[in-house]
Chains A and B, each alone.
Chain A
Amino acid sequence: MLALLRNQKVRGILFQILTILSVVAFLWYIGDNTMTNIEQRGIKTGFAFLDGTAGFEIDEAPISFSSSDTYGRVFLVGLLNTLIVTFVGIIFATILGLLVGILRLSKNWLIRKIATAYIDIFRNIPILLQILFWYNVVLNAMPSPKQSLEFVGGIFVNNRGLYIPKPDMNSTTIFVLTSLAIVFVSIYLLNKWANKRQETTGEDFPVIIVGFSALVLVPIVAYFIGGADFNFDYPALRGFNFQGGKTISPEFLALTFALVIYTATFIAEAIRSGIEAVSKGQKEAAASIGLSGYQALKLVVLPQAIRIAIPPVINQYLNLAKNSSLAAAVGYPEIITLFAGITLNQVGQAIEIIAITMLVYLTISLVVSALLNWFNHKMKIKER
C-alpha cells in the first residue's frame, strides 16, 4: 500500500481524484444548503412561473406581444431583442473597426491622428457611461413630436425615436426584396469566381464596381416589372405620438450606437496590430511585382492580417454580446430588463431566473465563438 503511494503516477492520480471529490462535495453542499433554506423560508421553486400571465405591455417587441401573454413569451421577446442588438452591433462595429484600423496606419498625418484620438478616447471610457451619455444626448438634443424634424421621403426624427415609412407587402415589394436577395447571392458567387480566376490567370475583375451597380440597378428594374406600385405606410402625428410606419426607439439607437463606438475601437486595434504584424518584405514584394497600393492591401496584406486579427476580434464580439446587458440602464427591453428585471420582481424566483439568464449569455457566447473558431480554422494558412 505504502509502496503504491510512493509511485509518483499513482499519487498524481490520487490527488486529482481527491481534488475533484472536494470540488463536487463543495458544490453539492452549497446546492443542498440553498434548497434547504428555500424550503424553510417557504419560497416557491420550479419553472411553472413561465406559464403565468405576464400582465404588462412591452413597447418594442419583435414578435406580437400583449399583456395577456405568458412570462415564457416575455423571455422570448427579451432574448430576441438581445440577439438583435448583438447582431446589428457586431456588423457595424466590424465595419467601423476595419475602417478605423486601416485609417490609423494611413500616411496622411491628420487622418492618422483623428483615428488615434477616437480610439484613445472611446476605448478608455466605461461603456455604461457612454450608453447613458448618448441616451441623454439623444433625448435632449431631439425635438418633441410636435416639432419633429422631417426628412425627404416621410422620415421623421424626434425624441421618441426615428420614424420611417414601411412598404406594404404587395407584389412590387416582394419583387424588389426577391431581386435584392438574388443580387446578394450573385455577388457572393461572382466574388468566388473572380478570386479563382485571379489565382489561375492573374487577371483582376472589378467585383466592387459590378456588384454595386447591380445592387442599384436590379431592384429598380424589379420595381418596374413588379408593377411600379409601392404603397407606403407613412408615419403621422396622431394624438400624443406618431403612428404607422416603422419606429426605431431612442433606447435602441443609443445602446447600439454606444456599443458600436466602443467595440469598434478594440476591433480597430486588433486590425492594426494584424496589419503591422505582416512583415515589411511582403509589402515590398507586392510593390516589386507592380501591384498598386490598394491591390497590395487587398491581395497581400489583409489576407494575412485578418488571420492574426481573428482571435482578438472574436473576444470583442463576445464582449459586445455581454455588454448589451447594460441596456437596463436606458430601458431597452432586452433579456436583463424584461426577464431578470420586471419578471424577477413580479415572480420573485431569483435563482431560477438568474440561472436561465446566465445560460442564455453562455449559449450566445459559445455559439459565437464556435462559429468564429470554425471561420478561423478555415482561414488558416493551408499547408501544402
Chain B
Amino acid sequence: MTKFTKLSLAALALIGMSATAGTLQDVQKAGFVKCGVDGGLPGFSEVVSGGVYKGIDVDGCRAMAASVLGDASKVKYVNLNSKERFAALQSGEIDILVRNTTWTNTRDAALGFNFVAVNFYDGQGFMVRKKLGVKSALELDGASVCIQTGTTTELNVADYFKANGMKYKSISYDSNDQVLASYESGRCDVLTSDSSQLYGLRTKLKDSASHVVLPEIISKEPLGPVVRQGDDQWFNIARWTFNAMVSAEENGLTSKNVDSMKSSKNPTIRRILGVEGKLGENLGLSKDWAYNIIKQVGNYGEVFERNVGLNTPLKIARGLNAQWKNGGLQYSPPFR
C-alpha cells in the first residue's frame, strides 16, 4: 500500500465513527452543556466585564446545567448569529439553543426541531427619533426601515405595511451593530426588531432619550429554547427544567428560601424539591434536580427581574410574561 492509500483508509475509518448515544448521556459524559446563545444582546445574553455571560437566555442555559449536572456553571457557551444558529443545532455542535428564537410552524415542523417552551413573550415593534413627531406606526408610509437580516422580522414588516396599504424601503443588515450604526447615522427613519431588543438597542445609542419605541406591536414573537427533534428524553428535561422555574415562582420558592422550604408541608413543594415522589428519576435525573435550578439560578420571576425587569436598563414590565394568576401567560403544567 502506498502511504496515500493508508492515509485515506485511516481517514475513512475515522469518519465512520458517529456518536448515537442520547444527548443526556453525551452531556453527562462531557461534563458540560453546550449552549448556543446570541452573546451580544443586552438582557438576553451578553458578555459583561470579566467574560461572564448574563441574561435571561443565559440563565436558561445555566438552569439546564443545574438540572442535568447539578452545577449551573458547567455551561460551554457558543455565540451564534441568526444565520448560524439552526445549522449549529442540526449538526449537534450545541445541545440546546437558547437564543431569543421565535417559535414558528416552519421551524418546528420543517427544520427538525422541537421548541421547549416560551421563556419570553415578545412582539415586533418600531423605534424612531422623537423629533420626527411620529406617534403611531401607521404614520410611517414611505419610510426607510433598517432590519437585521435572517429573522422573522422582514416578513412581519412586509405583512404589516401591506395590510395597511403603506410603502417602505428596507435595508437588511447582517449584524446588530451595523443596523444600529446605520440607524444612528440616519440611513433609515425606523429601526424594527422584537420590542425587547429595541429597548436593549436603545441603551446602546449615544442619546437614548431622543428615541422612542412606538406603541404598536405588529407580531407575536414567542421566544424560547430549542432542541433537536428525535431525542424525547432530552426534550422532556429541557421542558421541565423551564417548568420548574415557573412553578417555583407560582409556589413562592426563591433562591433565598429554597433551603428552608425543603421542610415545607405543602405536597406540591415537596414534589418539586424531590423530598417526595420520583419526578427527577422519571426524567433520568437526580432527586434534587429542581432544587439545584432554584438554588443556583432562581425562579422565573427572579430571572426576569434580574435581567430585563424594571430595575435594569431595559425597564421591561412583566406584561404577558407575568404568572397566569396575575394575568400573564406563564403557566406550568402540574408537578405530580
Residues in chain A within 8 A of chain B (CB atoms): 15, 18-19, 22-23, 25-26, 29-30, 33, 40-44, 55-59, 67, 132, 136, 139-140, 144, 159-160, 238-241, 243, 250-251, 328-331, 333, 337, 341-342, 344-348, 350
30 contacting pairs across A/B (C-beta < 8 A): A18-B5, A26-B8, A26-B12, A29-B16, A30-B15, A40-B230, A43-B90, A55-B155, A55-B159, A56-B157, A57-B168, A59-B170, A132-B178, A136-B185, A139-B181, A139-B187, A159-B187, A240-B144, A241-B143, A241-B144, A329-B174, A331-B173, A331-B178, A337-B172, A341-B149, A342-B149, A342-B150, A344-B83, A345-B151, A346-B155
Is B319 an interface position by the 8 A CB rule? no
Interface string of B153-167 (1 = CB under 8 A from A): 011011101100000
Q: Provided the pairs A56-B154, A240-B142, A341-B83 are in contact, do residues A25 and B12 lie with their beta carbons within 8 angstroms?
A: yes
* Residue in A25, A30, A132, A243 whose CB lies within 8 Å of B142: A243
- The smallest C-beta distance from B188 to any residue of chain A, in angstroms, reads 8
Contacts A331-B174, A341-B150, A345-B83 given: A57-B158 contact, CB under 8 Å?
yes
A82 → chain B, closest Cβ, in Å? 16
The answer to whether B5 touches A331, judged by C-beta atoms less than 8 angstroms apart, is: no
CA–CA, A350 to B162, complex, Å?
29
Interface flags, B94-126, vs A, CB<8A=1, else 0: 000000000000110011100000000000000
B2 within 8 A of A: yes
Task: Tell me the bound Cα distance from A26 to B10 in angstroms.
Answer: 11
Considering only CB atoms and an 8 Å cut-off, how many residues of chain B contact the other chain? 53
Q: Which residue of A lies closest to B187 (CB)?
A: A139
Contact of B11 among A26, A132, A159 (CB under 8 A): A26
Whether A67 lies near B172 (C-beta < 8 A) is no
Contacting residues, chain A, for B141 (C-beta < 8 A): 239
Chain B residue contacts of A345, Cβ below 8 A: 82-83, 86, 149-151
Q: Does B172 contact A331, Cβ atoms closer than 8 Å?
A: yes
For residue A151, give the distance in angstroms from its CB to the closest CB of chain B: 20
Contact A160 B154 (CB under 8 A): no
In the complex, the chain B residue whose C-beta lies closest to that of A39 is B112
Asked whether B142 lies within 8 Å of A239 as measured between CB atoms, the reply is yes
Nearest residue in B to A343 (C-beta to C-beta)?
A: B150
Contacts of B230 in A (CB 8 A): 40-42
Kindly provide the distance from the CB of B121 to the nearest chain A CB, expressed in whole angstroms: 22
* Chain B residues within an 8 Å CB radius of A29: 12, 15-16
Q: Assess whether B135 is interfacial by the CB under 8 Å rule.
A: no
Residue of B9, B18, B171 ringed by the most chain A CB atoms within 10 A: B171
Interface of B is mostly: mixed
Provide the residues of chain B in CB contact with A33, threshold 8 Å: 15, 18
CA distance A139 to B146 in the complex (A): 13
B149 touches A331 (CB 8 A): yes
Q: A-contacting residues of B (Cβ < 8 Å)?
A: 2, 4-5, 8-9, 11-12, 15-16, 18, 82-83, 86-87, 90, 106-107, 110-112, 140-144, 149-151, 154-155, 157-159, 161-162, 168-175, 178, 181-182, 185-187, 189, 228-230
CA distance A250 to B171 in the complex (A): 11
- In the complex formed, the residue of A with least CB distance to B7 is A22
Give A25 to B314 CA distance when docked, in angstroms.
55
Residues of B close to A348: CB separation below 8 A:
86, 106-107, 110-111
For the complex of A and B, 6 pairs with smallest distance between CB atoms: A345-B150, A56-B154, A139-B185, A239-B142, A41-B112, A67-B158
**How far in angstroms is the closest Cβ of chain B from A256?**
16
Instruction: Tell whether, in the assembled complex, residue B142 and residue A241 are in contact, meaning their CB atoms are under 8 Å apart.
Output: yes
Q: How far is the CB of B89 from chain A (nearest CB, A)?
A: 10
CB distance from A265 to the nearest CB of B (A): 26
Rounded to whole angstroms, the CA-CA distance of A238 and B8 in the bound complex is 66
Known contacts A55-B155, A342-B149: A43-B168 contact under CB 8 Å = no
B residues less than 8 Å from A19 (CB atoms): 4-5
Residues of A within 8 A of B162 (CB): 67
User: Once bound together, how far apart are the Cα atoms of A59 and B185, in whole Å?
Assistant: 19
Contacts of B149 in A (CB 8 A): 328, 331, 337, 341-342, 345
Q: How far is the CA of A277 from the CA of B222 in the complex (A)?
A: 66
Q: Which partner residue on chain A sits nearest B8 by CB separation?
A: A22
Contact status of A240 and B12, CB under 8 A, knowing A42-B229, A43-B112: no
Q: What's the nearest-Cβ distance from chain A to residue B305, in Å?
A: 32
* A56 with B87: CB separation less than 8 A: no
A residues near B8, Cβ cutoff 8 Å: 22-23, 26
User: How far does the alpha carbon of A40 sit from the alpha carbon of B91 in the complex, in Å?
Assistant: 12
Q: How far is the CB of A204 from chain B (nearest CB, A)?
A: 52
B80 CB → nearest A CB, Å: 12
Given contacts A29-B15, A345-B82, 13 further A-B contacts (CB under 8 A): A22-B12, A30-B15, A41-B90, A44-B111, A57-B161, A58-B170, A59-B171, A144-B186, A238-B142, A333-B172, A337-B174, A342-B149, A346-B106
